[in-house]
Structure 1
Amino acid sequence: MNEMSTQTISNHVQQALEAMKNRVIQHVFFVACGGSSALMYPSKYVMDREAKTIRSDLFSSNEFIYRNPQALDEKSLVILCSLSGTTPETVEAAKFARSKGALTVSLTNVGDSPLAQASDYPVVFAWGEGTDPAESNASMMYQLVFGLLHHKESNDKFNSYVSSLSLLESIFSKAWNQFKPNAKEFAESYKKEKVIYTMASGSNFGPAYALSICYFLEMQWIHSAAIHAGEYFHGPFEILDKDVPFFIILGLDETRPMEERALEFTKRYGHRIVVLDAKQFDLEGIDEGILGYVAAMVISRVTRLYAMELAAARNHPLTTRRYMWKVEY
C-alpha cells in the first residue's frame, strides 16, 4: 500500500487490509440485515464489475447461516455490518463464518459491540448528522473492497478512491443544499400517500432498497417496494397508472440505460413521479473511472434528506416504531 493510502484511510481498514494481504481469498461474502444490507449493494457491484479472480455474494444474515454456502471456508472473506453492532442475526453470522475458518471484518459504530467482539477485525465508522462522509460506513466499505482488489489484483481504482476522500465532504454538502428544496417539495406533495414505489438498478439499487424498506416501510409506515429497473417490464409495470407514486433513481454506473428506459415508460403513463438524477451532482475532481461508485454514495445521502423532509411534513419522526426494539420478535 502506498504512502498516500496509509495516511488517508482508516487505521481499522489498514489492519483489515494487511490481514487480507496475507490470506488467500477466493470468495467475499457481504452479510447484513436491513439498511446495513442495502449499504453493501454498491460494494457488491464493485466486485462484480472489477474482480477478475474473486467471487462475491450478498446474504441476509440469518439466511447466510441457514443456507450454509459450501464455498464458505478458510479462503473466504466475510464482511458484516450493523450500526449498533447488536443485530443478533449478524453477530451469529460472524461467529458462524469464523467457525468455518473465514476471515471476518465487521463494520459498526460501536467499537466494543457484540459484533466487533465476534469478528476478527472490527472497523468502526462515524455516524450522525455532520459526519465526514470519508469516515462513513459507505466509505469504509469501498476502502475495504477497493483495497482488497488493489492487493490481490493490482486494481488501480483503490488509489483513485483514496484520492477522492478529501473531496467527499464538499460534494455531499453541495448535494444536500442543492436538493433540499426538491426534498421539501416532495414531502409536501407526497405526505398523504399510502404507497410509494422506488426504482433503480446496479449500484443504485441499494439506496432504492433502503429508501423503500427502511425509510418508507419501517420509519414512515408507508407501503412500498423496491423495484429493480431491469425487472420493471417483467411484471411490476402493470401496477402503474396516473395516480401511483414512483421514486426513480438514475445513477452514473453502467446500468443507467435500464433506469432511463424505466423512467421513460413511467412518464408515458404515470404522473406521480419523483426523479433523483446523479447527473445533477457536482462531482468535480472525481476520477471518471469511479464516478458511478461515488455517485451511489451521494444518492444514498440525498435519499435520506428526502426521508427527513417527509418525516417532518407528516409529523412522523424517523425514530417512531410500532414493534422494533419494543416487543419480542
Structure 2
Amino acid sequence: MTTAQDQVNRIIEAYKERTINRVFLVACGGSAALMYPSKYFIDRESTSITAEVYNSNEFIYRNPSTLGAESLVILCSHKGKTPETTNAAKFAKDKGALVVSLMYVPTAPLADESDFIVNYSWAPPGELDSHPEIANYAVLYRLTMGLLAVKEGNDKYEKLVRSLNSMTTVLQKAKAQALEGAKAYAKANKDESVIYTMASGVNYGIAYSFAICILMEMQWKHSHAIHAGEFFHGPFEILDKDVPFILLLGLDETRPMEERALKFLKEHGEKLLVLDAKQFDMSGIDEELKGYLAPLLLNFVLRVYAVELAAATGHPLETRRYMFKVPY
C-alpha cells in the first residue's frame, strides 16, 4: 500500500531531475490558508527559490509571466473536486510546470491534472488525527522543506521528519490544556455576531482560515482576518470594549508585531482571547522548527474552540446555506 510518505519521497526524487526556481502555492479557501506557513518557510530559508500564494482562479487570470518549466506548482483541494483548483492544475501543467496536488481522497478530478498527488490524513475539527505527521500542513512542509534540502542542502527536512513524530503527543496535551477554556469561551461568546481574528507571519493563514471557514462558513458569524502588522493602519479603529478579538501569538520572527497588537487590545478592549504557542508543551519538536510548527498546534487548538462554539450556538459545523447546495 502506498503511503503519503511514499508519495512525498517520489516527489522529492522528482525534484532532483529538474531545475526549480519558483514555487506557486495554489488553492481556495481553507486549502489556500494551508499554504502560508510553507511560503513563510521558503521566504526565510531559501537563497535561490521564491514562493507565492495564489487563489486558484486568480492564478489563471493573472497568468504569472514567471510560471513555466522551472516552476513547481503545489495545489490542494480537500476532496479534489474544487473546479477552480483542477483548472489551475491543468493551466500549470500546460505551462510546463511540475504539478503536485494534495487531497484527502485517493482519486479525484484534480489528480487527473497533476504529475503527482499526496493523500494526506484528516480528522474532523477538534478531533485528534491518528496520523498528524502526514496531515495537510505537515505534508506541505515535507514538500517545501524537502525541496530546499535537495536544491540548497537545507538541513530542516530531517529535523522536520523527527519532530513530526512527536506531534501526536503535542496535540494530545494541547487539547487537554485548551478544552475547559474553549468551553468557557463558547459559552461567553455564543451570541456574538462579530468576532475578529488576528495574527502575523507563519500563523496568518491560521487566523484567515478560522475567520472565513469556521466563523463565516460554519457559524455564520461576521469576521475578518487582520494581519497584526496592518492592525494600526485602519482596523484598530473598530476596537472597543464590546468587540471580540482572537489573537494568535506565534514563535516566529514576527511575534513582536503580535505583541504590539496585544498591548493595544488589552488597553482598549475587553473581549479578548489570546492563544499563545508559548503556553503549550512542544517537547519533542526541534528548537529550530518550533516557530514553523506552531501553526499546526494553534490550528488544532482553534478547531477545539470551534467544536465548543458550535455546540454552544446549536449551529453544527456541517450546516451550510449555499455551499454544495445551490449553483455558484
Question: TM-score scaled by structure 2?
Answer: 0.97
Counterpart for residue 73 of structure 1 = 68
Task: Report the Cα distance in structure 1 between the residues aligned to 2:39 and 2:180, rounded to whole angstroms.
Answer: 32
Match of 2:46 among 44, 51, 54: 51
Counterpart for residue 327 of structure 2 = 328
**Cα deviation per residue 1:107-154 (whole Å; 9 max; x = unaligned)?**
001121111121000000011144221020111001000000000000
2:261 maps to 1:262: yes
2:40 maps to 1:41: no
2:103 maps to 1:108: yes
Aligned length: 322
2:236 maps to 1:241: no
Task: Assess if the C-alpha contact under 8 Å between 2:101 and 2:116 holds in 1.
Answer: yes
Task: Report the Cα distance in structure 1 between the residues aligned to 2:15 and 2:221, rounded to whole angstroms.
Answer: 42
Counterpart for residue 199 of structure 2 = 200
Match of 2:59 among 48, 59, 64: 64
| Counterpart secondary structure, 1:178 | helix
Shift in Å, 1:90 = 0.3
Task: Assess if the C-alpha contact under 8 Å between 1:9 and 1:143 holds in 2.
Answer: no
Task: Assess if the C-alpha contact under 8 Å between 2:164 and 2:285 holds in 1.
Answer: no
Query: In the alignment, residue 288 of structure 1 is paired with which amino acid?
Result: E
Which segments of structure 1 move beyond 2 Å, counting only runs of 4 or more? none
Task: Report the Cα distance in structure 1 between the residues aligned to 2:245 and 2:49, rounded to whole angstroms.
Answer: 36
Counterpart for residue 286 of structure 1 = 285
Task: Assess if the C-alpha contact under 8 Å between 1:240 and 1:269 holds in 2.
Answer: yes
Counterpart for residue 18 of structure 2 = 23
Shift in Å, 1:21 = 1.5
| Counterpart secondary structure, 1:85 | coil
What RMSD over aligned residues (CA atoms) do the two structures have, in Å?
A: 1.0
Counterpart for residue 9 of structure 2 = 14
Query: In the alignment, residue 153 of structure 2 is paired with which amino acid?
Result: S
Query: In the alignment, residue 237 of structure 1 is paired with which amino acid?
Result: F
Query: In the alignment, residue 253 of structure 1 is paired with which amino acid?
Result: D
Query: In the alignment, residue 162 of structure 1 is paired with which amino acid?
Result: V
Task: Report the Cα distance in structure 2 between the residues aligned to 1:295 and 1:288, rounded to whole angstroms.
Answer: 11
| Counterpart secondary structure, 1:312 | helix
Task: Assess if the C-alpha contact under 8 Å between 1:134 and 1:166 holds in 2.
Answer: yes
Task: Report the Cα distance in structure 1 between the residues aligned to 2:150 and 2:262, rounded to whole angstroms.
Answer: 39
Task: Report the Cα distance in structure 2 between the residues aligned to 1:138 and 1:177, rounded to whole angstroms.
Answer: 22
| Counterpart secondary structure, 2:41 | helix
Query: In the alignment, residue 197 of structure 1 is paired with which amino acid?
Result: Y
| Counterpart secondary structure, 2:317 | coil
Shift in Å, 1:295 = 1.0
Shift in Å, 1:285 = 2.2
Counterpart for residue 123 of structure 1 = 118
Task: Assess if the C-alpha contact under 8 Å between 1:80 and 1:94 holds in 2.
Answer: yes
2:173 maps to 1:178: no
Task: Report the Cα distance in structure 2 between the residues aligned to 1:91 and 1:317, rounded to whole angstroms.
Answer: 29
Task: Report the Cα distance in structure 1 between the residues aligned to 2:202 and 2:50, rounded to whole angstroms.
Answer: 17
Task: Report the Cα distance in structure 2 between the residues aligned to 1:15 and 1:111, rounded to whole angstroms.
Answer: 16
Task: Report the Cα distance in structure 1 between the residues aligned to 2:105 and 2:40, rounded to whole angstroms.
Answer: 27
Counterpart for residue 216 of structure 1 = 215
**Cα deviation per residue 1:158-213 (whole Å; 9 max; x = unaligned)?**
11111112101000111011101111111001000000000000011011001100
Query: In the alignment, residue 36 of structure 1 is paired with which amino acid?
Result: S
**Cα deviation per residue 1:64-103 (whole Å; 9 max; x = unaligned)?**
0000000000000000001000000000000000000000
Deviates more, 1:129-138 or 1:221-230: 129-138
2:153 maps to 1:154: yes
Task: Assess if the C-alpha contact under 8 Å between 1:9 and 1:162 holds in 2.
Answer: no
Shift in Å, 1:9 = 7.2
Query: In the alignment, residue 120 of structure 2 is paired with which amino acid?
Result: F
Counterpart for residue 3 of structure 1 = none
| Counterpart secondary structure, 1:198 | strand
Task: Report the Cα distance in structure 1 between the residues aligned to 2:146 and 2:188, rounded to whole angstroms.
Answer: 43
Query: In the alignment, residue 118 of structure 1 is paired with which amino acid?
Result: E
Query: In the alignment, residue 38 of structure 2 is paired with which amino acid?
Result: S
The runs of 5 or more residues in structure 2 that have no matched partner are none
The runs of 5 or more residues in structure 1 that have no matched partner are 1-7
Counterpart for residue 87 of structure 2 = 92
